[in-house]
Structure 1
Amino acid sequence: MSQVEIKSREEIALMREAGRIVADVLDALEQAVVPGITTWELDALAAKMTAERGARPAFKGYLGFPCVLCASINDEVVHGIPSRKRKLLEGDLMKLDFGVSYRGWFGDSARTVPVGKVSPEARSLVETTRESLQKGIQAMKPGNRLGDIGHAVQRHVEARGFSVVRDFTGHGIGRKLHEHPHVPNYGQAGAGMKLRAGMVLAVEPMVNAGTSDIEILDDDWTAVTADRKLSAHFEHTILITDGGPEVLTRGR
């Protein structure tokens, strides 16, 4: 098993800065999500704010991804590509997934934003996914195991009749966007690697209204639910400390 890097105090300080930039941009994007705006305009706003803060987009060019922002709507689970032609409509679920590199250190976060008034099912899906992330974060204590995080997420989601996507996981983060270990959103309590203070993990439950199965569209990026039902996604970059988990990408 690859070694999980324990970050130093100086490195954590830089990751806090990266996380603050990510949170600021996502806060602005969330405010900009209204019926009629295009996902291309949201991507342009993210690019502009990233540059103004002296950071670099984490996603653009990563494995060939063409944009700054992953913009996924409704049945799109993750990795949606912004488009000039894609306008948001009342009732949509807009998933904003965004990251930066700042002075060589990464931050990564995602949130699901209802566009105007959404259906009761959509609202329940969003709230359940947000809550499941918080359940996962609460399990991130030194001495706990990696499986405790996924178990907490999975138990909360399935108790409400939704399903956890298994094709994508959270991840370690630091000098690289994706570091060891994989952080599944399902699992067995007490199983897996022991958590230690100084580890930084990105936890990101993706939750579907129907089946957990996904498909990849012809653009080779956009993941959609196999049954085309709704999906929601939340993510934070979290530092494990002796005093409990510290969310580095929490908005103001």
Structure 2
Amino acid sequence: MVELKTETELAVMREAGRVVATALAACREKAAVGVSLLELDTIAADVLTDFGATSSFQHYHPRFAPTPFPAVICASVNDVIVHGIPSGYQLRDGDLVSIDFGACVDGFHGDAAISFVVGEASPADLALISTTQQALDAGIAAARPGNRLGDVSHAVGVIGRAAGYGIPEGFGGHGVGRRMHEDPSVPNEGRPGRGLPLRPGLVIAIEPMFMAGGKDPFTTDDDGWALRTADRSRAAHIEHTVAVTPDGPRVLTAL
């Protein structure tokens, strides 16, 4: 069931979004050659403590996963698309890193993700990240009353396909609110003019995930969480939580 949020509830979600944005900025600032993924997880956990918020990710156990998620961030490096579990892996020069993070404040969630390169970046990685950001921006612009969910999905997917990137089927955005994952599903490809009408109060996470190799197949690691490109090409993942309002889209997870 799709639940529309009131302005009071959107204000609470904006506070959760500020926690998310702060944690992602802190992880980005501290990410450097030699820093481990577990260290980044600790940095994000400290932000939760500072704000009196709780993690949306830690102990989360969806049906597809064999075990609850053990950390507060998803840390996906190079050919890992999403859902990477933080480990002692130390970042290397040129690594493409995607950090996904969620926070809960007063019973409402915020969810966002960033992608960046540690150290010297290749032109191909910069293009992948830039295109993923462009797709997110286009999806956000389409999240307005009078449009339909397919308009958001189409805006994202057409940019990724035009650049020759792959898109993992079955993984994309979602509703956000009292639960981190709510209805509706927000695919990263769709037909314009089709799907759920967008009404004020709808809150969705829009999250393009593009694979540089141009192929769609992916594999799942033995941990049951991390999705990895089948051809081992690099991937990027960028996300915001967005509210549909009478005045247009409102990004709730910006700084």
Instruction: Indicate whether the TM-score tops 0.5.
Output: yes
In structure 1, which of residues 205, 208, 223 is the aligned counterpart of residue 227 of structure 2? 223
1:7-39 deviation per Cα after TM superposition (whole angstroms, max 9, x unaligned): 011111100100011001111111111111000
1:118 deviation in Å? 1.4
Q: Which residue of 2 aligns with 1:80?
A: 84
Q: Does 1:57 align with 2:60?
A: no
CA distance in 2, matches of 1:124, 1:163: 14
CA distance in 2, matches of 1:106, 1:114: 27
CA distance in 2, matches of 1:212, 1:234: 18
CA distance in 1, matches of 2:90, 2:15: 32
CA distance in 1, matches of 2:127, 2:111: 24
CA distance in 1, matches of 2:137, 2:143: 10
Q: Is the 8 A contact 2:172 2:187 kept in 1?
A: yes
Q: Is the 8 A contact 1:23 1:249 kept in 2?
A: yes
Q: How does 1:105-124 map to 2 (within 5 A)?
A: 105-124=108-127
CA distance in 1, matches of 2:44, 2:187: 28
User: Matched residue pairs, number?
Assistant: 248
Q: Secondary structure at the match of 1:164?
A: coil
Q: Does 1:133 align with 2:131?
A: no
Q: Which residue of 1 aligns with 2:71?
A: 67
Q: Secondary structure at the match of 2:250?
A: strand
Q: Which residue of 2 aligns with 1:183?
A: 186
Show structure 2 runs of 5+ residues with no match: 62-67
Amino acid at match of 1:19: G
Q: Which residue of 2 aligns with 1:143?
A: 146
Amino acid at match of 1:176: R
Q: Is the 8 A contact 1:167 1:214 kept in 2?
A: no
CA distance in 2, matches of 1:219, 1:163: 23
Q: Which residue of 1 aligns with 2:65?
A: none
Q: Which residue of 2 aligns with 1:45?
A: 43
1:117 deviation in Å? 1.1
TM-score, scaled relative to structure 2: 0.96
Show structure 1 runs of 5+ residues with no match: none
Which stretches of structure 1, 4 residues or more, deviate above 2 A after TM superposition? none
CA distance in 2, matches of 1:169, 1:160: 18
Q: Which residue of 2 aligns with 1:22?
A: 20
1:95 deviation in Å? 0.4
CA distance in 2, matches of 1:121, 1:145: 33
Q: Which residue of 2 aligns with 1:239?
A: 243
Amino acid at match of 1:203: I
1:167 deviation in Å? 2.6
Q: Secondary structure at the match of 2:132?
A: helix
Amino acid at match of 1:118: A
TM-score, scaled relative to structure 1: 0.97
Q: Which residue of 1 aligns with 2:10?
A: 12
1:207-251 deviation per Cα after TM superposition (whole angstroms, max 9, x unaligned): 001112111011111110011100000000001111110100013
CA distance in 2, matches of 1:6, 1:163: 32
Amino acid at match of 2:25: D
